[in-house]
Chain A
Amino acid sequence: MSLTLFVPELGHLAMILALCFAAIQAFFPLIGAWKGDHHWMSLGRPAAWGQFVFLFISFMALTWSFLADDFSVAYAANNSNSMLPWYYKISAVWGAHEGSLLLWALTLAGWSFAVAIFSRQLPEEILARVLAVMGMVSIGFLLFLIMTSNPFERVLPNIPLDGQDLNPLLQDFGLVVHPPMLYMGYVGFSVAFAFAIAALLGGKMDAAWARWSRPWTLIAWSFLGIGITLGSWWAYYELGWGGWWFWDPVENASFMPWLIGTALIHSLAVTEKRGLFKNWTVLLAIAAFSLSLLGTFLVRSGVLTSVHAFASDPDRGLFILAFLLVTVGASLTLFVLRAPSVKSRVGFGFWSRETLLLINNIVLVVVTAMILIGTLYPLILDSLTGSKLSVGPPYFNALFNPLIGALMMALGLGVVLRWKNTSGNWLVKMLGPVLLVSAALSLLLTLLADEFNGAVLVVYFLSFWVLLASIRDLLDKTRHRGFLPGLRMMTRSYWGMQMGHLGVVVCAIGVVLSSHYSIERDLKMNVGDSVQLGAYSFVFDGAHHFEGPNYISDKGTVRALKNGREIAVLHPEKRLYIVQQMPMTEAGIDPGFTRDLYVALGEPLENGAWAVRLQVKPFVRWIWLGGMLMSFGALLSAWDPRYRARIRQKVRDALPGKEKEVKADV
Chain B
Amino acid sequence: MRKILLPLLCSLWLSAPAMAAIDTYEFETQAEQDRYRKLIEELRCPKCQNQNIADSNAPISLDLREETFRMMTEEKMTDEQIVDFLVERYGDFVRYKPPVDKRTLVLWYGPFALLGFGFLMLVIIVVRRRKDSHGPDSKASLSGDEQQRLNELLNQPRESADK
Touching chains A and B, CB distance < 8 Å: yes
Beta-carbon contact of B129 and A347 below 8 Å:
yes
**Please, which residues of chain A bring their CB within 8 A of the CB of B140?**
346, 660
Interface of A is mostly: mixed
A582 to B57, CA, bound (A): 13
Beta-carbon contact of B150 and A665 below 8 Å:
yes
CB within 8 Å for A241 and B54 given contacts A169-B18, A377-B107: yes
Taking the complex as formed, is A568 at the interface, i.e. its CB lies under 8 A from any CB of chain B?
Answer: no
Q: Which listed residue (B19, B41, B103, B150) contacts A583, Cβ 8 A?
A: B19
A645 to B162, CA, bound (A): 9
Stretch at the interface among A29-37, A282-290, A380-388, A436-444: A380-388
Q: Which listed residue (A348, A359, A643) contacts B133, Cβ 8 A?
A: A348
Beta-carbon contact of A420 and B147 below 8 Å:
yes
Taking the complex as formed, is B132 at the interface, i.e. its CB lies under 8 A from any CB of chain A?
Answer: yes
Q: Which listed residue (B126, B135, B150) contacts A662, Cβ 8 A?
A: B150
CB within 8 Å for A373 and B14 given contacts A153-B1, A348-B133, A366-B111: no
Q: Could you give, for residues 265-293 of chain A, a 1 whenever the CB lies within 8 Å of some chain B CB and a 0 otherwise?
A: 00000000010000000000000000000
Count A-side interface residues using an 8 Å CB cutoff: 97
Taking the complex as formed, is B77 at the interface, i.e. its CB lies under 8 A from any CB of chain A?
Answer: no
Taking the complex as formed, is B10 at the interface, i.e. its CB lies under 8 A from any CB of chain A?
Answer: no
Beta-carbon contact of A358 and B122 below 8 Å:
yes
Q: Considering residues B4, B94, B141, which has the most beta carbons from chain A within 10 angstroms of its beta carbon?
A: B141
CB within 8 Å for A642 and B162 given contacts A394-B97, A583-B19, A651-B154: yes
**Please, which residues of chain A bring their CB within 8 A of the CB of B68?**
none
The distance from the CB of B156 to the nearest CB of chain A, in whole angstroms, is: 8
Taking the complex as formed, is B89 at the interface, i.e. its CB lies under 8 A from any CB of chain A?
Answer: no
Taking the complex as formed, is A337 at the interface, i.e. its CB lies under 8 A from any CB of chain B?
Answer: no
Docked complex: A580-630 residues within 8 A CB-CB of B? 581-585, 587, 600-603, 605, 611-613
A373 to B20, CA, bound (A): 31
A302 to B25, CA, bound (A): 36
A418 to B148, CA, bound (A): 10
How many contacts A-B (CB < 8 Å)?
A: 237
Q: Which listed residue (A74, A153, A246, A312) contacts B5, Cβ 8 A?
A: A312
Docked complex: A355-404 residues within 8 A CB-CB of B? 355, 358-359, 362-363, 365-366, 369-370, 373-374, 377, 381, 385, 387-395, 399, 403
Beta-carbon contact of B153 and A307 below 8 Å:
no
A422 to B44, CA, bound (A): 51
Q: Considering residues A355, A392, A520, which has the most beta carbons from chain B within 10 angstroms of its beta carbon?
A: A392
Q: Nearest A residue to B107 by beta-carbon distance?
A: A377
**Please, which residues of chain A bring their CB within 8 A of the CB of B50?**
246, 248-249, 305-307
The distance from the CB of B123 to the nearest CB of chain A, in whole angstroms, is: 10
Q: Which listed residue (B18, B55, B95, B153) contacts A390, Cβ 8 A?
A: B95
Beta-carbon contact of A241 and B154 below 8 Å:
no
Q: Nearest B residue to A78 by beta-carbon distance?
A: B2
The distance from the CB of A312 to the nearest CB of chain B, in whole angstroms, is: 7
Beta-carbon contact of B150 and A395 below 8 Å:
no
CB within 8 Å for A420 and B111 given contacts A354-B129, A394-B97, A522-B24: no
Taking the complex as formed, is A664 at the interface, i.e. its CB lies under 8 A from any CB of chain B?
Answer: yes
Q: Could you give, for residues 533-550 of chain A, a 1 whenever the CB lies within 8 Å of some chain B CB and a 0 otherwise?
A: 000000000000000000
The distance from the CB of B9 to the nearest CB of chain A, in whole angstroms, is: 14
Beta-carbon contact of A347 and B130 below 8 Å:
yes
The distance from the CB of A597 to the nearest CB of chain B, in whole angstroms, is: 15
The distance from the CB of A493 to the nearest CB of chain B, in whole angstroms, is: 12
Taking the complex as formed, is B96 at the interface, i.e. its CB lies under 8 A from any CB of chain A?
Answer: yes
**Please, which residues of chain B bring their CB within 8 A of the CB of A660?**
140-141
Q: Nearest B residue to A275 by beta-carbon distance?
A: B141
Taking the complex as formed, is A159 at the interface, i.e. its CB lies under 8 A from any CB of chain B?
Answer: no
**Please, which residues of chain A bring their CB within 8 A of the CB of B18?**
168-169, 238-240, 583-585
Q: Nearest B residue to A406 by beta-carbon distance?
A: B115
14 A-B contacts, Cβ less than 8 Å apart? A305-B49, A307-B50, A349-B133, A354-B129, A358-B125, A369-B111, A369-B114, A377-B104, A389-B98, A395-B107, A488-B158, A522-B24, A600-B20, A613-B20
Known interface pairs A377-B106, A520-B37; 4 further A-B residue pairs with C-beta atoms within 8 A, sorted by A's residue number? A346-B138, A348-B126, A362-B118, A387-B92
Query: Which A-B residue pairs are the 9 nearest by beta carbons?
Result: A347-B132, A602-B22, A392-B96, A347-B133, A394-B97, A240-B20, A362-B118, A370-B111, A524-B24
